Amino acid sequence: MTELSVKVKDLNFSWPSGEKVIKSCSLEVPKGEFWMLLGTNGSGKSTLLRLLVGLLTPESGEIQVLRPIGFVFQNPDHQLVMPTVGADVAFGLVEEKLSPAALRTRVEEALGAVNLLALQRRPIYALSGGQKQRVAIAGALARRCEVLLLDEPTALLDPDSQMELVAGVRRLVKSRGITALWVTHRLEELDYCDGAFLMQRGSLVDQGDSQRLQQRLMEMHNEAS
């Protein structure tokens, strides 16, 4: 039987206004795989991710996610809080009360995994958008996250940085055995994942082979325009 890192069953969520955003949603992400969550704007992708990480509370349904969970926002400036690269990655480890040597090892391992070890002392403000996203991912890796949730992490990046980031996350998933769920509406990113889910108006309408869903999403975009 396939081991699962994410399991959602019959999930429902509405905003206080009464607008229903997630409707009877069920999905499963196998451990050690890289899946993408697709859909046009307003389909509920980002809301579902926030429910998975616990930033929002569902009305009903079940959520099981292996912990610890790493969460990467669309805009890295919303989650990088310390002045330098190394300090920001270390900040997420404060609660673990590690020795200075263990802390340094964790930070260096995580930065090495995203190819930023040489920039450990670099001020955050001096980084490119792609480098900031990799620092956010390094923070999750340093906490030894089992599941990495990424909310349109390439939205603010140039095309080269987009492809570099998605390829890098795929490498991390495969080399470290972690699980990733990546929200996107960029069709070219689908070439890197193991499978995909397609959402429409808060419901999961399809899942499986990424190339087939790529075609279906293109059709949905065409219909919308």
- Token pair in block for residue 128: 């490119």
Predicted confidence at residue 225, as pLDDT, reads: 65
Residue 14 has pLDDT above 70, yes or no: yes
pTM exceeding the 0.75 threshold for the entire prediction: yes
The string of DSSP codes covering 135-163 is HHHHHHHHTT-SEEEEESTTTTS-HHHHH
Residue 28 has pLDDT above 80, yes or no: yes
The residue that leads in pLDDT, 2 or 49, is 49
CA distance 212 to 222: 16
List the domain boundaries for the chain: 1-67+146-225, 77-144
Output the CA–CA distances (angstroms, integers) from residue 219 to 42, 213, 215, 222, 224, in the order listed. 17, 10, 6, 5, 9
Predicted confidence at residue 121, as pLDDT, reads: 94
Domain 1-67+146-225: top CATH class: alpha beta
CA distance 122 to 55: 30
The residue that leads in pLDDT, 146 or 219, is 146
Other beta carbons less than 10 A from residue 31's beta carbon: 15
Residue 197 has pLDDT above 70, yes or no: yes
Residue 1 has pLDDT above 70, yes or no: no
What strand order describes the sheet that includes 147-151?
A: 69-72, 147-151, 179-183, 34-38, 195-200, 203-208
CA distance 34 to 177: 10
Predicted confidence at residue 224, as pLDDT, reads: 66
Q: What is the pLDDT of residues 31-85, one digit of tens each?
A: 999 999 998 788 899 999 999 999 999 999 999 999 999 999 888 888 899 999 9
Q: What is the pLDDT of residues 87-143, one digit of tens each?
A: 999 998 988 888 999 999 999 989 988 889 999 999 999 999 889 998 998 999 899
Q: What is the pLDDT of residues 130-158, one digit of tens each?
A: 899 989 989 998 999 999 999 998 888 88
